[in-house]
A and B are shown apart, each in its own frame.
Chain A
Amino acid sequence: MMPIPTPTKNLARLMSTIASHKVIDNTIDTPGRRSPLVTGNQTYGSLTHMVSRISEEAQPLAWWITFLLAVPTLGMFGGLIVYLFLTGVGVWGNMSPVFWAWPIVNFVFWVGIGHAGTLISAILFLFRQNWRTGINRAAEAMTIFAVVCAGTFPGIHVGRAWLAFWLTPYPSLNLWMWPQFRSPLLWDVFAVGTYASVSLVFWYMGMIPDLATFRDRSTNKFRRMVYGILSLGWSGSSRHWMRYEKAYSLLAALATPLVLSVHTVVSFDFAVSQLPGWHTTIFPPYFVAGAIFSGFGMVVTLLVPVRALYKLKDVITLRHLDNMNKIILATGSLVGLAYATEFFMAWYSQNPYEVFTFWNRAFGPYWWAYWIMVSCNVISPQLFWFKFFRTNTIAMWIVSIFVNIGMWFERFVITVTSLSRDFLPSSWGYFTPTWVDIGMLVGSFGLFFTLFSLFCRYLPIVAMAEVKGVMSQHAHAEHRHAHSHGHAHSHGHVGGH
């Protein structure tokens, strides 16, 4: 590819600046006219530039602050894991009867967050929701990193972590045995493993055209070499695009059931047991709704600052945020319905253990956790009935933080309160975390934000190729025809022309 001629570059920059001054409210739907998904009179070139420059220019101060906070936190996480291995899982606060506590809460929390990305890229893709294009790359990255965080916990949670590989069904001549296939924990290994690998492939594959753009824009050899390797020789030929789209559709179709299955299986960890408060059939849909809820919450938490920081408001528009907030409202209410249903079922079943467990959740020693959960997950998203909150970035950011907190507490409530008081009152207990518990939760955020900062720094935050396919007809009248088919990758927008 040719290096970009300077005038074009300047023009693009100029146009993106102009665009930022022109306010287009794309959150309003006008009959007969689609609201633009990219605002600010962007051209393909200006868009490419807008996204690519992020990894080409020096990072803003906020990035450095985030990164320099995240890396030591990650270091602490690593240190704590070493400490844990050398000392024993007793460094955590979990105990009898709460044999699973924060590590498992963190696991489910992170797995839940890992839902939004693939949901956005796969399910919304299949449902032809074009607005997904602006956010799917970042959301998918978030998914991968959340799953990395999630995957860390079960691995280090087992008492003899060095033997965790026994969970995998490998043919062993010495042992001559398989894992126990009746155990949900084993299903979990498969579910999360499959989800992580498919999501990773999906994310990476979707990134190839954009990586090629990065490669083409590279001004030094090293970058060109690295992005060259990563883009796997993408040339933007029609044949490439054809195969790419076929593969993308197939992967989307493959990933879609996984979105539903992974948290369903995670919920089986609880539902298949016979512990009151865990043993409920509502868990699979409830967990999936909660996961989507928390995933979108985290996407909003991440993208509101990202779009401001990297001036991506024209691609990640208010309409995108508005849509996500609607999903948060819907799933938040679903989660609320699930909470209510649990209570109803406990009452309706007249199972004394069940009844007690739910009363105990709301009014027992952990009442505070329950009510934090309800306020954050059910009450705070109700603000999104109002358009003001859906479109005000500060307000939605605060709500999204609440959602994150609430969803962590939801897992805490399910895991810890149910375990702390089960059948025999003689064995009841009260769990208190240790500093290692707290350190590891914080540390997992260190891992997450380290990965996410590196992602922002080195990889295309926005799926440029896909966004170009849905760019406003107004700006690209010549693409109208193709656009009416829903998406238009076949233009071969490679490079910065």
Chain B
Amino acid sequence: MSANKTYWRSLNDLHETAEFEQIASREFPQAASEFPEGVSRRKWLKLMSSSLALGGFAGCRYGPDQIAAFVVRPPNDVAGVPKHYATNFELADRAVHLLISNMDGRPIKVEGNAQHPIMRASEPNELGEAGDRSRFASGGTDVYSQACVLGLYDDDRAQRVAKRVDGVLTESTWDDFAAYAKTQFEAFKANGGESLAILMSPSLSPAVNRWVAETVKTLPKVSVAQYSSVDKSAQVKACAQAAGKPAELVYKLDAAQVICAFDSDLLGDDCNAVLYSRQFSKGRVPEPSKMNRLYSVESKFSVTGAAADSRLPVRPSQIGAVIRELEAKVDDLLKGGQPVPPVDGEKPFDQIDSAEKVARFLSAMAEDLVKHKGACVVAVGAYQPLDVQLAGLRLNQKLENFGKSVMLMPSRSAVEGVEPIELTELVAKLDSGAVKSLWILGGNPVYTAPGDVALGDTLKKVEDSVYLAEFEDETASVCSWSLPLAHQLESWGDVLAVDGTYGISQPQILPLLGGRSRIEILSMLHGGEAGQAVSEKLIREVADAVAGKPLTSRQWRELLHSGFLMGLKFEPLAGPFNVEGSAPVGSIDLDSIEQGSIELMVTVGDTLYDGRFAKNVWLQELPQTMTKICWDNAAVVSPKTADMLSLKQGEQARLVHGGATVDLPVFIMPGQANGTVAVQMGYGRICRDEAVSSNAEVVIGKDVSPLRSFSAMHLIRDVEVKPLPRPYKLATTQDHFAIDELGLETTKIRAKNLVREGTLEQIEEGGSEFVDHLGTHHPALESLWKEPIETLESDKTVTYQWGMTVDLNKCTGCNACVVACQAENNVPVVGKEQVTRGRELHWLRVDRYFRGDVDTPKIVNQPVACVHCETAPCEQVCPVAATVHTEEGINAMAYNRCIGTRYCANNCPYKVRRFNYFNYQTEYGYFYGWQQKGEIEKASRKLQQLVLNPEVTVRGRGVMEKCTYCIQRIQNGKIQSRIEGRVIEDGEVQTACQAACPSQAIVFGNLNDPNSRVSKIQKSERAYEMLAELNIKARTFYLARVRNTHARLKTSDQLEPAHHGHDAHSDTHEESGEAHVDHS
């Protein structure tokens, strides 16, 4: 426990005291005596929670009045048939609009709500040419939404109302707290709320904001502090200045031909990334005049950078200078200047020095922006300072984008009549004693607060502090009351969509662990009641207020059904806006790397956000989008920076800034701006280690808060980075960059063939000849015998032949599909140690390859799951026929028959087969986990198992598994269509990955139907079969990626002539029927 000392200091101290042991042993005498002395905190928690966890099972029910056996089946409830409920809530600072699959009273899967107005408004244009478009509609989600169902069943969640007694958190009750709240409220009323402060993060929930406003009305002297771990204050300020009132910036990427992102990860960590990905993918149709162009100027290689047509790595402090230069160039062009025309014989972009790269990049961007005036977007990342934000807005105004592709919308988080104070101000008030009571509405501020704000120390001195959160975390350990927050799937709530549409959140299940929502707590603050019925009433009141009239019960049911109130939207604010500001200063120098003035960029975690998902093991094990690291955060540096600072992959680096020191493992990533270090926040928290060796807790990654300061939360300058020659093993799901020359060279050559990529011009010139050209030279593909299975060529006696396509032009590599697959198919988590052994079980992975030069590389992503080969190599070598072909062309696994020879996995060229080396899904560990089979462990496991999809077999140890094309969904579709006496319609069955994909890159369907979308796409010019030369006839096809790169920014590989080497071979090709050849 020593490593956890600071985090759980109080609890540590606590469980060593005699009283605590006494309490525990009195309550659970038998179980308590099972544990030896010196047990971990976790075991104690489990000890105490066992009755709650078991009690929680009673929560998996339809309603209090239906607890009796279903002698008479409740109407519309068919056991085993999932029901879908629309809901909306705030998750990781964003509004999510979801459909929840509720299986026998427990939510198990999340999909995007395709009917939501913002989803409808961004539907891809080529959907469903014939018939009902809604068949193909899918909302798409992000990783956080996909993973939120796991959080619901987390037995680590706070399971008790806890009160500090003599410095120790002791179990209490809601009634106790209600009484406390009532007395407190009386006291507040007496002093007008002067002694009270509320700390919250900006909320998108009208109900929460309404209650806060109500509080201010009742207690006019109350202090409301807003603090967000992700600092967007510069952008908020810039928008407020521009609009003259609180506003937020929303882009309409489908209305933009040119998108310039400046340190802005629009498609990645942006709160509207799902919407933006949908809009962006609409513009990725590789046809001239239709296809958009994305520029990315950024320091950290982001999802947006990988999706960009051209990318320039620039350190964060120089982004401003780039925008300033760009503005100058745009001004010049707007005044009638002429763009620099491409010169014949000009060197390709990757062969020029960095100064020229910048110059060309700027002139190309300026040219494109001006050419597409009114149809372009200049997006500046939220971390950039105010002057850069204003410069971005100014450019948009000059380019007449406002109201067309860029919009300022009324702020959703602004609270009427409330002037929130900053966190530092709050701390000062607490320290001075002006505020005596603090109510914290979630957010774990003690952990997320920057290094120079000693919130934890201050809170310890505060006598009355109430903390509502999902976990008994760092903040809980210093507060006097710790209240369990209900999961959003357990509580009533509401949220405003980015377009202002009001959506409500309805509970899918009664609170498993007795938690309550923010609204209930705010109501209790006013001495009010709490409970499901109360919060429903409260939400309905807000809905009435938003609708402007009381909703009839029919309208209320409609709202519950669709999840949103139709027709109520924000109008974009009208310009012109006040975007004046000083021009950003500084110069551009891409190569300077100077010790002591290294820039650190702290971004939100790809998977953990600000650490709030640290206990979600799906997200912990989800590979970070670009580095493919899981279970850790690392100091990401460019190869040049690493050289200069003598940093080595596999070792650590010591980051020193302002007296704080953080040691992080080094990860060398080409494309990271020189002289910068990128690191993800949200780590350094305790998480369950799913490793085989133990079920103990470990600290995952490093907390970088000490390096952050209130004034520089994300972009920290003048950091010293020293090599720390201490080995550190990072768990990555793809090989580190630091591999041998031979491997690197081969990867480069192969990646071209595996992930085929061309330019828009190549498509224009020769169709998609480049797609075939990039393939491998191979003889005619002939089978020596008739395949004993159903293939597409064989007689079409079977109605369905399933197939899939993945459009690499649309895929951004956001990972949503990976988590969706995990959730749908009961894919277990294996833990860091097992990932380092290459034993992760994700059925779907996103492969990442680098392309081009080391300084300005490009990244290509490729989602890979089982491609369901018609002549599957795995099937031929299984000695017990455990993997076989269905007549519908699915390569199926019979888990019961599998004995685990693993031969199939060896013979799979795509390496998509996954093996259960241990009993990952249940207890595992030494000797089959016998040492963990205590009653409490079993109870916890049972709680966690509630998330499992009952339609998918849970695999035990020693069994091979892999993607099944979501065969359970196909089966459901077949049953439904059979009942209705028809065939499955195109688009009716969607795989989990397809449904989760925000950019709709994945299409699944019946290849036997020539009119199905998948058939048409597979016949497209861009379609190719990965490793076609093996003649295994994959059913999943990829669509080649097309980059719409500006002529002057083309790299040497993009300029290679498409016809290279073809003519010489053309005769032989025709004779032998060979596939296309390329020697490159």
Contact pick for B959, options A159, A273, A274, CB 8 Å: A159
For the complex, is B734 an interface residue (Cβ under 8 Å from A)? yes
Given the known interface contacts A95-B837, A359-B742, A364-B742, the answer about A90 and B692 at a Cβ–Cβ threshold of 8 Å is yes
Q: Digitize A181-216: 1 where CB-to-B-CB distance is under 8 Å, 0 elsewhere.
A: 011111001000000000000000000000000000
**Which A residue sits closest to B957, measured CB to CB?**
A88
Interface of A, helix, strand, loop or mixed by DSSP: loop
**Which B residue sits closest to A98, measured CB to CB?**
B838
Residues of A within 8 A of B118 (CB): none
- By the criterion CB–CB under 8 Å, are A159 and B879 in contact? no
Residues of A within 8 A of B901 (CB): 157-159, 185
Closest Cβ of chain A: how far from B520's Cβ, in Å? 45
For the complex, is A275 an interface residue (Cβ under 8 Å from B)? yes
* A96 CA / B849 CA spacing, docked (Å): 19
B residues near A (Cβ < 8 Å) are 692, 734-735, 739-740, 742-743, 746-747, 749-751, 754, 776-777, 834, 837-840, 845, 847-849, 862, 864, 873, 876-881, 897-903, 905-907, 909-911, 913-919, 924-928, 930, 957-960, 1027, 1030
A residues near B (Cβ < 8 Å) are 83, 86-90, 93-100, 157-161, 163-164, 166-167, 177, 179-180, 182-186, 189, 269, 272-275, 350, 352, 356, 359-360, 363-365, 419, 421-429
- By the criterion CB–CB under 8 Å, are B735 and A160 in contact? no
- By the criterion CB–CB under 8 Å, are B873 and A274 in contact? yes
Residues of A within 8 A of B862 (CB): 426
- By the criterion CB–CB under 8 Å, are A89 and B742 in contact? no
Given the known interface contacts A99-B905, A100-B902, the answer about A272 and B877 at a Cβ–Cβ threshold of 8 Å is yes
Closest Cβ of chain B: how far from A5's Cβ, in Å? 60
Show 25 residue pairs from A and B whose CB-CB distance is below 8 angstroms, ordered by the A residue.
A86-B927, A86-B928, A87-B925, A97-B905, A99-B903, A157-B901, A159-B898, A159-B957, A161-B958, A167-B899, A179-B881, A185-B901, A272-B876, A273-B873, A356-B742, A359-B742, A360-B743, A364-B740, A365-B743, A422-B909, A423-B911, A424-B909, A425-B735, A427-B910, A427-B911
Closest Cβ of chain B: how far from A157's Cβ, in Å? 7
Given the known interface contacts A99-B906, A425-B743, the answer about A167 and B879 at a Cβ–Cβ threshold of 8 Å is yes
Please indicate which of the listed interface residues A83, A96, A179 has the most CB atoms of chain B within 10 Å of its own CB: A96
- By the criterion CB–CB under 8 Å, are A428 and B1027 in contact? no
**Which B residue sits closest to A187, measured CB to CB?**
B879
- By the criterion CB–CB under 8 Å, are A166 and B910 in contact? no
* A326 CA / B909 CA spacing, docked (Å): 42
Contact pick for A87, options B840, B877, B907, B918, CB 8 Å: B918
Closest Cβ of chain A: how far from B125's Cβ, in Å? 32
- By the criterion CB–CB under 8 Å, are A419 and B906 in contact? yes
Residues of A within 8 A of B909 (CB): 274-275, 422-424
* A128 CA / B759 CA spacing, docked (Å): 73
- By the criterion CB–CB under 8 Å, are B877 and A185 in contact? yes
Residues of A within 8 A of B838 (CB): 95-98, 429
Contact pick for B877, options A83, A273, A425, CB 8 Å: A273
Residues of B within 8 A of A356 (CB): 742, 746
- By the criterion CB–CB under 8 Å, are B743 and A421 in contact? yes
Contact pick for A159, options B877, B916, B928, B930, CB 8 Å: B916
Contact pick for B928, options A87, A99, A179, A425, CB 8 Å: A87
Residues of A within 8 A of B917 (CB): 88-90, 95, 159
Given the known interface contacts A88-B919, A88-B958, A429-B838, the answer about A180 and B879 at a Cβ–Cβ threshold of 8 Å is yes
**Which A residue sits closest to B1031, measured CB to CB?**
A274
* A184 CA / B909 CA spacing, docked (Å): 18
* A255 CA / B862 CA spacing, docked (Å): 53
Given the known interface contacts A180-B878, A364-B742, A425-B735, the answer about A274 and B1030 at a Cβ–Cβ threshold of 8 Å is yes
- By the criterion CB–CB under 8 Å, are A166 and B899 in contact? yes
Given contacts A183-B879, A423-B750, 7 further A-B contacts (CB under 8 A): A86-B930, A96-B839, A159-B915, A159-B916, A269-B903, A424-B909, A429-B838
* A185 CA / B903 CA spacing, docked (Å): 8
**Which B residue sits closest to A350, measured CB to CB?**
B777
- By the criterion CB–CB under 8 Å, are B879 and A96 in contact? no
* A84 CA / B918 CA spacing, docked (Å): 10
* A269 CA / B903 CA spacing, docked (Å): 9
- By the criterion CB–CB under 8 Å, are B926 and A274 in contact? no
- By the criterion CB–CB under 8 Å, are B834 and A183 in contact? no
* A359 CA / B740 CA spacing, docked (Å): 12
Please indicate which of the listed interface residues A83, A167, A275, A352 has the most CB atoms of chain B within 10 Å of its own CB: A352
Residues of A within 8 A of B907 (CB): 273-275
* A98 CA / B915 CA spacing, docked (Å): 11
Residues of B within 8 A of A350 (CB): 777
* A91 CA / B549 CA spacing, docked (Å): 65
Given the known interface contacts A159-B916, A166-B880, the answer about A90 and B899 at a Cβ–Cβ threshold of 8 Å is no
Residues of B within 8 A of A158 (CB): 899-901, 958
A-B residue pairs, 3 tightest by C-beta: A159-B900, A159-B958, A90-B917
Residues of B within 8 A of A360 (CB): 742-743, 746
Given the known interface contacts A274-B1030, A364-B740, the answer about A183 and B876 at a Cβ–Cβ threshold of 8 Å is yes
**Which B residue sits closest to A185, measured CB to CB?**
B879
Given the known interface contacts A86-B927, A90-B918, A422-B909, the answer about A159 and B880 at a Cβ–Cβ threshold of 8 Å is no
Given the known interface contacts A83-B927, A95-B837, the answer about A179 and B898 at a Cβ–Cβ threshold of 8 Å is no
Residues of B within 8 A of A421 (CB): 743
- By the criterion CB–CB under 8 Å, are A422 and B900 in contact? no
Residues of B within 8 A of A161 (CB): 958
* A100 CA / B902 CA spacing, docked (Å): 7
Given the known interface contacts A88-B958, A158-B958, A179-B879, the answer about A423 and B747 at a Cβ–Cβ threshold of 8 Å is no
- By the criterion CB–CB under 8 Å, are B918 and A425 in contact? no
* A95 CA / B901 CA spacing, docked (Å): 13
Closest Cβ of chain A: how far from B1022's Cβ, in Å? 20
- By the criterion CB–CB under 8 Å, are B910 and A180 in contact? no
- By the criterion CB–CB under 8 Å, are A96 and B915 in contact? yes
- By the criterion CB–CB under 8 Å, are A97 and B911 in contact? yes
* A162 CA / B747 CA spacing, docked (Å): 40
Given the known interface contacts A86-B927, A96-B838, the answer about A426 and B957 at a Cβ–Cβ threshold of 8 Å is no
* A356 CA / B741 CA spacing, docked (Å): 12
- By the criterion CB–CB under 8 Å, are B902 and A275 in contact? no
Please indicate which of the listed interface residues A88, A94, A98 has the most CB atoms of chain B within 10 Å of its own CB: A88
Residues of B within 8 A of A425 (CB): 735, 743, 746-747, 750-751, 849
